Amino acid sequence: MQYFGKEAVNVMLLCYIALGGAVGVKAMLSSFVGNTFDHLDKENVIDVKISLIGFELEATKYDLICVVISSCQMLAYYFFKNWVFNNVMALIFCINALQTMFIGNFKNGFMLLTLLFFYDIFFVFGTDVMLTVAKGIDAPIKLMFPKDFSGEKPQYSILGLGDIVIPGIFVSLCLRFDFLKSINIKYMEGLLKKEAAGEDVSTMKYLFKLAQDCSKSYFIAVNIGYLIAIVCTVVVMIVFEHG
């Protein structure tokens, strides 16, 4: 920002997010339409490799379609500066991050969340660093919620994407744990042996049904905890008029 100015940095960030958002758009489309567009995702229409600098770029027709969708969304945000366009792209980033990021075990998750708890207290409530960055960068790096349209410039409450993604990957860890602890290993081994012998059984059908029907006690408990934490945060923001 010191050398190029705030506007130039914001434009560079928006271009970067438009390209990066294509990955999230592709994941979202695949979640809704399944393998409908798989025929567009088989052959690369762009395949550039520069061995000297280790640069490699590959893209299929499906990738290019997702880039166009992401870029249109980003252009709409750039020209209209509407909080809805901001939130759509921010949510796509969140969902893609939750699909691709994993914590190895509960100990790592507990340590991460504990350290970030104190980090947030200092940088959000102790200083204005986080708010200055969040408000200074005009890009979908946070969720925006309108709270006052009476003034010349609308006022928004903001929620950083990290406050969704970091607890979210811990929530997903709990859901995976609920699923894994419900698997009957011996029964599954039997299914795999029958499947390998050519019998008409499906291990994946068993896993899908188990994922839907298994007890989700850890998942429910951590969601209740997350809800209580969000409520406490909102109360603190209202009381101290900060955030």
- For the record, the structure tokens of 40 come out as 């567009």
Active site residue 178: no
Closest to 105 measured CA to CA, from 178, 179, 173 = 173
Active site residue 41: no
Q: Pick the catalytic residue: 41, 120, 178, 213?
A: 120
Residue type, 230: I
Distances 225 to 165, 188, 222 between C-alpha atoms, Å: 15, 33, 5
Q: Pick the catalytic residue: 47, 128, 148, 163?
A: 163
How many CB atoms within 10 Å of residue 198?
A: 7
Active site positions, annotated: 120, 163
